[in-house]
Amino acid sequence: MGAGQSRNDGGDAGSTNSIDRLKRYSRAFKKPRDESPRPGAAKTQTPPATTATTTTTTGTPPSTGAAAAGTVIYDSSHKPPQATTASSSTPKTQDPFGLNMPPSSTVPCQYRTGKTLGSGTYAIVKEAIHITTGKYYACKVINKKLMEGREHMVRNEIAVLKRISSSHPNIVTLHDYFETAHNLYLCFDLCTGGELFDRICAKGNYYEADAAGLVRTIFKAVKYIHEAGIVHRDLKPENLLFKTQAEDADIMIADFGLSRVMDDSTLSLLTEICGTPGYMAPEIFKRTGHSKPVDVWAMGVITYFLLAGYTPFDRDSQDAEMQAIVKGDYKYEPEEYWANVSETAKDFVSTCLTVDPAKRPTAAQALKHKWLADEEPHFVQSADGKPADLLPNVKRNFNAKAAWRKAGLSVRALNRMQTLAGHGNDAHAKMRADLDAYKAESEKENIETASITYQQKHSADPSASADELAAKVANASIKDDRAT
């Protein structure tokens, strides 16, 4: 899956791809298990590496800064605000996620939701405004019914976000989380600047120094994540977003749905197969155990993409792509695509794409490579003696690959639909229908009138009356034509 593809599920091809993802998710989560790191190369229940069935991230829209399969918890270190309307006899909240929820309280909701920004496999994302502060957020809404049997996903994602959220300018922040009777809500940064590659294509020119600057910034954030004991496991251009449309806007790492807290011990390895195929490291497919080096490999793929407009392991099928990754089979070809890229940049990519994870550099070591560390930028001179502009080649290559990929997906989608029709696969059709129905339920919920259980940060003022809150709600309207 290359950059620039829509992260929303739509169209015939999108529907079939969603069915394929559902099959993979149904296998991956058929028997919920503890996803914490395990010593050595322990046995795993993931699909065999010889198949092309890999668990991929779900389609969370770019503005969310969150994975579609995430969820929320109650933080027991904070006391919920006193309820203004709840009965003192409120029963204890059921806690299927093992998060030590206290007795539930009816709390006035401090948010008003607006338009739907997008939809993924397990969640929808809506624009939201905080009534008191007037700040805008991307609010991910997950139907609780969809999280049954996937409670470990809640524990993992929140454990990651609580460790790193709000601590780095280039990592999206989880600002708030709460729940209603039917849904879980996560409020993230609303990133309005667009995805990385879309931003590049909108520029008038794009030089190797620009690519190096982006990679340097992202790698510094990756270094911070790793030093915090986290491995991201799904770094790709679609998960690199600009916070605003300003020219100097921060680029943000988003979507921590597949991230894990890792022990510092080199013997602590993850063994599940997950990620986005084109950006996954060889050791993930081999199931020999993986850790933080997978993020460095993904950064090598991203850098290759930023310099050429396509990824190094693009193949006709996912199985062929997997085999190429395992072997480290890539080239800097066709030569004309790389004529304007320096040998130093190519060396940096090759270093990150070292097949053996033990020999692959760490994020800190990658930042010391001369392509990122030298004060003078590296580049190929054009005919006028100035740095060569990479944008024409990058855009042309990306558009050509995108058209090829779209055609291939359409053919595979048609074949897949014919296969499903021939076998009368009612189970998959029902699964898809149930997912759509649950997401539709989530989208219709009006949180302005719903009873919610505890908000992490923007706690309701216990002295505020219901009438005062209602007045604030009435004034906190979301305007679709607001300036971003």
- Residue ranges of domains in the chain, CATH in brackets: 62-192+436-475 (3.30.200.20), 196-414 (1.10.510.10)
- Does the pLDDT of residue 286 top 80, yes or no? yes
Question: How far apart are the C-alpha atoms of 187 and 136, rounded to whole Å?
Answer: 9
Q: What is the pLDDT of residue 390?
A: 96
Q: What is the pLDDT of residue 417?
A: 43
160-179 residue pLDDT tens: 888 887 789 999 998 888 88
- Does the pLDDT of residue 270 top 90, yes or no? no
pLDDT band at 452 (very low <50, low <70, confident <90, very high): low
CA distances (Å), origin 215, targets 189, 210, 257, 294, 296: 22, 9, 22, 16, 11
- Please name which of 78, 94, 258, 245 lies closest in space to residue 160, comparing C-alpha atoms: 258
pTM greater than the 0.75 cutoff: no
Residue bearing the bigger pLDDT, 18 or 205: 205
Q: Report the share of the chain in percent with pLDDT over 70.
A: 60
- Does the pLDDT of residue 43 top 70, yes or no? no
Q: What is the pLDDT of residue 399?
A: 76
Lowest mean pLDDT, pick from 43-47, 219-223, 246-250, 422-426: 43-47
- Does the pLDDT of residue 151 top 50, yes or no? yes
Q: What is the pLDDT of residue 45?
A: 40
Q: What is the mean pLDDT of residues 327-347?
A: 95
Q: What is the mean pLDDT of residues 201-225?
A: 95
Q: What's at 427, amino acid-wise? A: A
374 is known as an active-site residue: no
Q: What is the pLDDT of residue 346?
A: 98
Q: What is the pLDDT of residue 266?
A: 47
- The answer to whether the annotation marks 286 as part of a ligand binding site is no
Q: What is the pLDDT of residue 411?
A: 42
Q: What is the pLDDT of residue 92?
A: 42
Q: What's at 243, amino acid-wise? A: K
Q: What is the pLDDT of residue 380?
A: 96
Residue bearing the bigger pLDDT, 484 or 166: 166
pLDDT band at 182 (very low <50, low <70, confident <90, very high): confident
- Does the pLDDT of residue 297 top 80, yes or no? yes
pLDDT band at 268 (very low <50, low <70, confident <90, very high): low
Q: What is the pLDDT of residue 397?
A: 86
Residue bearing the bigger pLDDT, 11 or 357: 357
How long a stretch of residues is the chain? 484
Mean pLDDT, the chain, rounded, equals 73
Lowest mean pLDDT, pick from 126-130, 313-317, 343-347, 435-439: 435-439
Whose tokens are 């950064």? That residue is 299
Q: What is the pLDDT of residue 321?
A: 95
Q: What is the pLDDT of residue 299?
A: 98
Q: What is the mean pLDDT of residues 220-246?
A: 94
365-399 residue pLDDT tens: 999 999 999 999 999 999 999 999 999 999 988 87
Q: Report the share of the chain in percent with pLDDT over 90.
A: 37
- Max mean pLDDT among 72-86, 188-202, 417-431 falls in 188-202
- Does the pLDDT of residue 449 top 70, yes or no? no
Backbone dihedral angles phi then psi of residue 415, each to the nearest 5 degrees: -60, -40
The one-character DSSP state at 202 is: T
Q: What is the pLDDT of residue 181?
A: 82
395-441 residue pLDDT tens: 988 876 655 454 444 444 444 444 444 454 666 566 667 667 766 76
- Does the pLDDT of residue 244 top 70, yes or no? yes
Residue bearing the bigger pLDDT, 147 or 206: 206
Give me 80's structure tokens: 């919920």
Residue bearing the bigger pLDDT, 62 or 394: 394
Q: Helix, strand, or coil here: 105?
A: coil
- Does the pLDDT of residue 180 top 50, yes or no? yes
Cis peptide bond N-terminal to 387, omega within 30: no
Q: What's at 430, amino acid-wise? A: K
Catalytic residue among 9, 176, 210, 234: 234
- Max mean pLDDT among 88-102, 231-245, 405-419, 449-463 falls in 231-245
Q: What is the pLDDT of residue 178?
A: 84
b or e along 370-402 (b: 16 or more beta carbons within 10 Å of the residue's beta carbon)?
ebbeeeebbbbeeeeeebbbbbebbbebbeebb
Per-residue HEC secondary structure of 343-363 comes to HHHHHHHHHHCCCCCCCCCCH
Question: How far apart are the C-alpha atoms of 467 and 332, rounded to whole Å?
Answer: 66
